[in-house]
Each structure stands twice: as structure tokens, then as C-alpha cells.
Amino acid sequence: MDKIYNQTKVEEKWYKFWEQEGFFAPEINPDGKPYTIILPPPNANAPLHFGHAMYVVEDILIRFHRMLGDSALWLPGADHAGFETQVVFEKELERKGESRFDFDRETLYKMIWDFVQSNKGVMEDQIRCLGFSLDWSRYKFTLDPDITKIVYKTFKKMYADNLIYRAKRIVNYCTRHGTSFSDLEVVYEDRNSPLYYIKYGPLTLATVRLETKFGDTAVAVHPDDKRYLEYIGKEIDIETVLGPTKIKVVADAAVDPEFGTGVVKVTPAHSSIDFEIGQRHNLEVRQVIGFNGRLNEKAGKFAGMQVKEARAAIAEEMKQKGLIEKVDENYKNRVGVCYKCGKEIEPLPLEQWFIKIEGLAVKAIEVVKKGNIKIFPSMYAKTYFNWMKNIRDWNISRQIVWGMQIPAWRCTECNRWIITEGETPTVCDKCGNTSLERDSDVFDTWFSSGQWPFATLQTTKKGDFEKFYPTSVMETGREILFFWVARMIMLGIYSTNTIPFKDIVLHGMVVDPLGKKMSKSKGNVVDPMEVVDQYGADAVRMALVYGTAFGHDQSLSHSKLQAMRNFTNKLWNIGRFIIDFAPEKTTPSSSSPDDKQILKQLEEVTKTVTKTLDQYRFHDAAEALYEFIWHEFADLYIEKSKNRRAEAQSVLEYVFRTSLELLHPFMPFITEELWQKLPHKGQSIMLAKWPK
């Protein structure tokens, strides 16, 4: 054996061997109990980031259950990541001095498709480099035609069941990227903003958003606020920067009497709360900010101004006219921004497709309460319940090109919507008109990926859905519990009448050494491949599960990575000591006290690792193996065995081989390399049975 372990001679060799031999397919244990994990599909628009290295948790579970004899399927895939991918591609266009507006829809879609296909291969190779034992023969992409067909079928069925409706509602709109978002996708920032106390005739009210005042169609007070009872139901004369007008005073329980003066302006076109007040009081929805982020003609002389520019100009003119009573310059408020560009989100009225969530959420809550689905760590169950009980209808329309275009056509004659499973209708089934216009929007990516567990298994190999669904584990980052996991539960139960998975296992984020979330804008993103090149895939994998309680965030620590690299070297040196020993005659062990003790300790660590993996306590399993192999076996037993080397050889080989089998799910490459050099039965450590 070489004196120093060199992962470059080992990792690629063994991965190719495993893949070529078909060891990643569940068919290697055809009679085993089904055990399934669907890989959370990484975005196909870019190489992996370090968070993806946490897939190691899924690989540990799959390799563990494969060795238990289960028919273990880990199904790979990639996500088209609609908005995310289009943003990435638009940045590519910007570097060339181009924009999305330079191309028609079909051309732009084809360009993004080619861009994604060129990136997917890079991402898949990186997954292989980390040793992830996915069954590549079942690989799926979210835009595969058979996946799209299932998503379209779900949409049509939900529409027929009155769970999907089209309505003009207030949506979260990014005027830079030109698309709406669901409530979940809006990031909120705490800011200090000027709070203007403005005069509306006999009343004074407080507002941050002066620029929306041209869209005010009422002012509101709380019905129990005695200060304003005399005004409720009346019209008051007010002076504005555009001249005098009248405005109605309404009473609504949504008003907080403690905010400002207890009087609020109602702008149904530019606030979701105001929209709801407007619906209750039959108020006009008067839009004054366009989808380009500029004030429109209803703003008079301020038309054409950007929001912030207009706010400042309006404030100045109102001050000159004596319409501002005072300004609180340090008012603390939360401002919604686009999670990609940071631009303030504009609440704007837009006709979109929405899913009625309440009924779906009730069933999703019930299955977790009953224990049909369990959440690990359990502390996240409370968070899940709180969010699900306060969930709002889901906007699934996106105004972009990249993704699944919604299969809905509007009749130009009677305005009826015709929903299909993707096929293009030729005539309106209500009025017979042949002029039909397709909705230009695409589905929110989370709507299609929310169907991922059943859509993949229904489109891979014959019998997969019947055998592997519901899946065993959905393991993913805790930050997408609501974005994705909750939606998979709701859509899975709706579409299949059963749960999509039995256990939800949530890992924390991998943050930088200062505890900050990695992001390209901060410049603190770490390329996982650079770390693998430096320390080896096995060391990286072990470092990600060692020393941090599962479910908690962890800093990317080079000291921990180096410690795990040292562990791979320790394993190699143990192997050299045991494997390179070739006595003329090996004397059977006399079962000395040292032998009995190490065998007993091996039995105990086997029980510990088995139990902790069953409980998703990966850190406990990793630490138990590290302590046993390095300290109990290497530091104590091996040192003592040097005085009776030939006699101890069989125990040394047995304990080391068994240790490698226990360690294999964590560190697959070096364990295969060393296992192959020991006396063994079988073709690969991957076919070895889990130690008892």
C-alpha cells in the first residue's frame, strides 16, 4: 500500500465501478422491503453550492438501508427553477449587452433551454464526485414531457374541483423582473422610513406611502373608535396636491386604532389589506402605479415618476401647501423586497390563477398530527402547524417565459377559460368561437415541484409507483419546509389520496465561518468542488455530519475539514498496519481479554450506529464511529496487539472490516478501497450486509 492516502486514485475509480455494476439500483435487493428517497432536485441553472453537499445525509440513509437488505431507491433529478433560472440567464444576457426584451418568447425559451442543458451535466458530475449513490437510470427533469403532462392533469382536475380559480387580486410584484410572487417568496427588511401625518379635511392620518394617495378611494376608522363616530358613512372634503375632492369614511375592524391617529387611507389597488377592506365596502380599485414601477396618468403632474422619486416630490409639495402636519423620521416598518434583486415589492392588482388552500391545509395538518408523517427534528412540527393554520391562497401564475406555460385559453368572444391537459383547443365549448388566446404565464415552480414525489415515480420504470410510493423519507433544508415540503404534502394527498412520504428530515444551513448565510452577493460562497479537491470527498462528507446536532446550522470550518482529512489518513494507516502484515503462519486468536473487550466494544458501537441512524441522529453515529475507530481500536487495541501480532491478526482484520462496513455510508470511497484489500466475501462493500 502507498504510504499516504491519495483520494485521486480512489474516488473516480470506485464511483465508475459502482455505477457500471448497477449497485445504485434497487434491483440489487429485489426481494427487499421498499425504501425510497426522492432527491430534492437541484436547480439546473448553475453548479452545486455547498448546501447541496448536505445530500450526504440522504446518501448515508440509502447506503445504510441498502446494506440492511432493503430495495433502496434514491431517485435523482433536476429542477428547471423557473424564475431563478431566468434571472441567471438574464445576467448572462446583460454581460453581452442584451436583454430578454430583445427576443420573442419562443427564441428566449430555446436559448434558456440550451443554457440549462449545458449546465445540467456539470451539476451531475459534481454529484458523482461527492459519492452520492443515485440510480441514474431513473433520472428525471421537471420539464420532461411526461412530468409536464401530470402537472397539467393536476391543474385541470383542481380547476374542475373548484380548487383553482382566476381572480384579480393584489399580488406581490417585482417591477424589475416583471413577475409576481407568492407571499412566501417575499423577503422582509426592517427599515426606518418617514411616517407622514397628512391632513384629509377634518381628519389627520399617518402613512409611509404618499405616492399611492392618488389611488385612495376611502379613509377608514375602527367601528368602535369613539373619536370618529360622527364621520362614519359620510363624505368629507379634502385638499390634495391635485386639487380639492371628496372621500368617503368607512368603519372596518381591520383598522388598528393605535396606529398613528387611528385613521388610515384605503388604497385597494396597492395594499392587500386595503383590497380586502375595499371588497367589504364595495370601493373602487384605482391603480396609480404601473407594472413598470412608475406612476400613471392618474397621478397628474407626478405621472412617469418612479415610486421613491414621486414620494419625495409629493412630500415637498404637500409641505408647501400645508397638508403635512408632522413627519416621524424614524418610523420602524417592514418592507417587502424581491429576494433576487432587493427592489421593493409593489402590491399591484393583477388577474392570476390561485389555489384555494384552506381545505388542502386541513388534511396536511391532520396527517402530521396523527403521526402518519413525522417531522425530525420534532421542534419543527410546531413551526409547521403555526404556518399551515395561517396559510393564504396561493398565487401560482408567473409572468416569465421559462417554465411550464399554463394550459389555459381564453375565448375572445365570451371570455370563458378553457383548461386542458396541454392539448390546444380549437373552439370555445360555450359560444363556438374559434379565436382563443393562451395565457402567457407559466406555473410557479413550486406548483410543479410540489408534485415531484408522485410525478417522478409515475414516469420512471413500470411498477415503481406501486412499489416505492409513498416514499420513506423527504430530507431537505429546514428553510424550504413551507416553500416545498408542505406543498408536496397538500398536492400529494390531493392527487394520490395518500401521503407522499412517511418522514420529513430537515437539516440546517451550512453557513460561512462567521455564521453568515452564503450568497453570491456577499461574496462568501464556497465551491464544494474546491473543498473536495483539497480534503477529499470522504472528509467533506464526514465533516458535514460530525460535531453538529442534526437540524442545526453549522459553520463551514476548515479545522473540522482538516480533522476529518486526518481521520481518512488514520484509516489508511490502520489499513497499512493490518493489511501489509503477512506472517508465515497466523495463529488463531486465544480470545485474550483485549480481544474480548474490543469485540464487545465493536458490538456496542454497531448497536449505537444502527439505533442513531434509525433516529436520524447522524452526528451521534458519526461521533461514535470516530471515537471507536481512532481511540478504542487504533490507540488502545492496536497498540496492545503489537506484542502478539500474529495471534491478534484475525481479530484485527475482523474488527477493521466490520468498522469499514459501519463507516461505509459516511465515507464510501476509502472504505471500499480498504475493504477490497482485506479478506472478504463478495464483490463490493456495497453488497456487504449491515453488521449485526
* pLDDT at residue 583 in the model: 61
CATH of domain 179-347: 3.90.740.10
Residue 459 CB partners (closer than 8 Å, separation 6+): 140, 144, 146, 147, 150
At 20, list the grid cell.
457500471
Amino acid identity for residue 411 in this structure: C
Strand duo 218-221 + 263-266: pairing: antiparallel
Count other Cβ atoms within 10 Å, centred on residue 121.
10
40 close to 140: Cβ distance less than 8 angstroms: no
Contact indicator for 138, 461 with CB cutoff of 8 Å? yes
Pair type for strands 417-419 and 203-207: unpaired
Q: How far apart are CA 245 and CA 549, in angstroms?
A: 63
Please provide the DSSP assignment of 518-571 as one string: P-TTTT----HHHHHHHH-HHHHHHHHHSSS-TTS-EE--HHHHHHHHHHHHHH
- How many angstroms separate the CA atoms of 289 and 346, rounded? 8
Q: pLDDT at position 527, please?
A: 85
Which amino acid, residue 339?
A: Y
- Rounded CA-CA distance 591/627 in Å is 23
Torsion of CA 157, 159, 160, 166, to 10 degrees: -170
State the number of CA atoms in the 13 A half-sphere of 140 facing the CB. 25
Q: How far is CA 526 from CA 91, 243, 558, in A?
A: 21, 57, 12
Would you tell me which CATH number, out of the four given (3.40.50.2020, 3.40.50.300, 3.40.50.620, 3.40.640.10), belongs to the domain 32-163+356-406+441-507? Answer: 3.40.50.620
Q: Which residues contact 91 (CB under 8 A, 6 or more apart)?
A: none
Whether 44 and 449 have beta carbons less than 8 Å apart is answered as: no
pLDDT digits (tens, 9 = 90+) for 576-598: 999 988 665 555 555 799 999 99
d(CA 98, CA 91): 9
What confidence score (pLDDT) does residue 522 get? 67
Grid cell of 297 as nine digits:
396618468
Cα angle 132, 138, 139; round to 5:
70
From residue 283, alpha-carbon distances to 278, 300, 542 in Å are 5, 21, 61
| Strand partners of residue 336 | 188
Residue of 247, 252, 221 whose CA lies nearest to 234: 247
CATH code for the structural domain at 536-687: 1.10.730.10
Cell numbers 453548479 label which residue?
A: 47
Residues 181-191: tens digit of each pLDDT: 998 889 999 99
Which of 578, 531, 401, 551 has its CA nearest to residue 475?
551
Specify the pairing of strand 417-419 against strand 397-398.
unpaired
**pLDDT for the residue numbered 42:** 94
Quick one: pLDDT at residue 11? 97
Tell me, what's the pLDDT at 126?
95
Burial class (CB in 10 A: 0-12, 13-18, 19+), 371: exposed
- What are the start and end residues of each CATH 3.40.50.620 domain in the chain? 32-163+356-406+441-507
Spans of the chain below 50 pLDDT? none
Long-range residue pairs from 676-685, CB within 8 A, at least 24 positions apart, any chain:
677/1, 677/575, 677/579, 678/575, 678/578, 678/579, 678/653, 679/653, 683/21, 684/17, 684/18, 684/21, 684/23, 685/660, 685/661
Residue intervals of the chain classified under CATH 3.90.740.10 are: 179-347
E strand segments, 134-262: 140-141, 164-174, 179-181, 186-200, 203-207, 218-221, 235-240, 243-251
For residue 21, the tally of other CB atoms under 10 A from its CB is 14
Q: Which three cell numbers stand for residue 42?
A: 437541484
Whole-number Å distance between alpha carbons of 227 and 249: 13
| CA-closest candidate to residue 207, choices 49, 331, 108, 320 | 331
- Spatial separation of the C-alpha atoms in residues 73 and 389, rounded to whole Å: 34
Side chain identity at residue 129, one-letter code: C
C-alpha cell at 255: 383598522
* pLDDT tens sequence across 334-374: 999 998 899 999 999 999 999 999 999 999 999 999 999 99
